[in-house]
Amino acid sequence: MDPACRTLSTAKTLATGLPRTTAIAIDVSSATELDSLIACHTLVISLLPYVYHASIIKLAIKKKVNVVTTSYVSDVLRELDVPAKEAGVVVLNEVGVDPGVDHLYAIKKIGEVHAKGGLVKEFYSYCGGLPAPEHADNPLGFKFSWSPRGALLSQVNSAHFLSGGKKIEISNKDLMGVAKPYFVLDGYSFVAYPNRNSLPFQKYYDIPEANTVIRGSLRYEGNPAFVKALIDLGWLDTQPKDWLKTGITWAEVLQKAIGAGDPSESALVSRVEELCRFTSKAESERILGGLRWIGLFSSEPATVRGDNLLDTLCAQLEKELSYQPGERDLVMLQHKFVVEWPHDKKETFTSTLELYGEPEGFSAMAKSVGVTCGIAAQLVLDGHEAFRTPGVLAPYKKEICDPIRELLEKEGIKMVEKLV
């Protein structure tokens, strides 16, 4: 196994203590480098941002090398299904935690219900990768172990889902406004909102009888309202700003972003209140206090990055909202199945993963994504019968899900089912 990263030092860190590994520095924008690297391996595991997967998979198909990713199967990847089949290449995707572990237990429970003559009338699935409650000690109630960019942009996706038999669409600008309190387990205060497109999962999970299918995200209470304020103030804008230059202060950045009269805190606060239209004095005080805590009212020089507001904000969030030594994270994932049995009997089941990271060890996110992906990769390498079919695949069938799930449970990662 040869870990390949942009920097050799990071690759060496990943390879430390592992037998038969060679650390490699790689420029993923170089097709020549990728081509030669892929050619001398029997399997590629791509944990890169999803935008790079297609180019890597195309090269792997050319070299007849199997591929595993933890990302969703995008439309671009679906177009590679026929070429992969023709080349006899397995391209297995969605084997992380969400997507990944969620599929394993959705398929399991739905299959059991159908086998007993039941119908899944409603399906809900919410997941959050969060700081442990004791470390959710900032205005966002969130911390970053990698670039904040992806996490923030995920909160401005549009959402499509099925509710009460109707297809619902929520625009990206309205998404944070529909977040609602959602009970998962005692001791937590979560809010939930739909994420991406849930509609295809009625087919993927083989539940044509369902009148509600919603997959979404969990955050701590207060997070969506704060992110909505950042959106209203323009902080998630990715367009270049010619005025965003080194030397400008945070207050001046905010003044220009929102059109305030001057960079004084009073002028900034007045304009923020005008744009955000807070629902209460308490919410106004909480969010203004959070903006102040992050440093967006300060006269300190801004860390300008990428000539745009989003990347510049991310530079500040990386400094202020990163995990510190000894802190731990939490992965919370829950499915809810509303089941209709013969003779009009109804029951509701939940299936829940509550996984904490180790303060001085692996994070919960690293374990749930990494172990799941590693097991899937090993099954492909071993030529397990369920993983021999070439093409672009995802774990939507019992034959693929069961072997991964059974091995995952041996590693202590398991969703616990309950009748509620």
Task: Identify how many contiguous H helices and E strands the chain contains and give both numbers.
Answer: 15, 16
Nearest to 190 by CA among 176, 180, 202: 180
**Continuous segment of H or E residues that includes residue 316:** helix 309-320
Report the phi/psi class of residue 270: left, alpha or beta, with left for phi > 0 and alpha for psi in -120 to 50: alpha
Q: Which residue has the tokens 């400008």?
A: 248
**Catalytic residues, which ones?**
98
DSSP 155: G
DSSP of 340-358:
EEGGGEEEEEEEEEEEEPP
Q: Please name every residue paired with 337 in a beta bridge, in sequence order, or none if there are none.
A: 123, 349
Nearest to 101 by CA among 386, 374, 327: 374
**Continuous segment of H or E residues that includes residue 333:** strand 329-341
Helices (H), 207-249: 223-232
Q: What's the Rg (C-alpha) of the chain? A: 23
Tokens of residue 233, six digits:
């103030």
Q: What is the CA 206 to chain-centroid distance, rounded?
A: 24
Q: Please name every residue paired with 125 in a beta bridge, in sequence order, or none if there are none.
A: 215, 335
Report the phi/psi class of residue 394: left, alpha or beta, with left for phi > 0 and alpha for psi in -120 to 50: beta
Which residues in 46-55 are b (16+ Cβ under 10 Å) and which e? bbbebebbeb
DSSP of 254-267:
HHHHHT-SSSSHHH
φ, ψ (nearest 5 deg) of residue 176: -65, -25
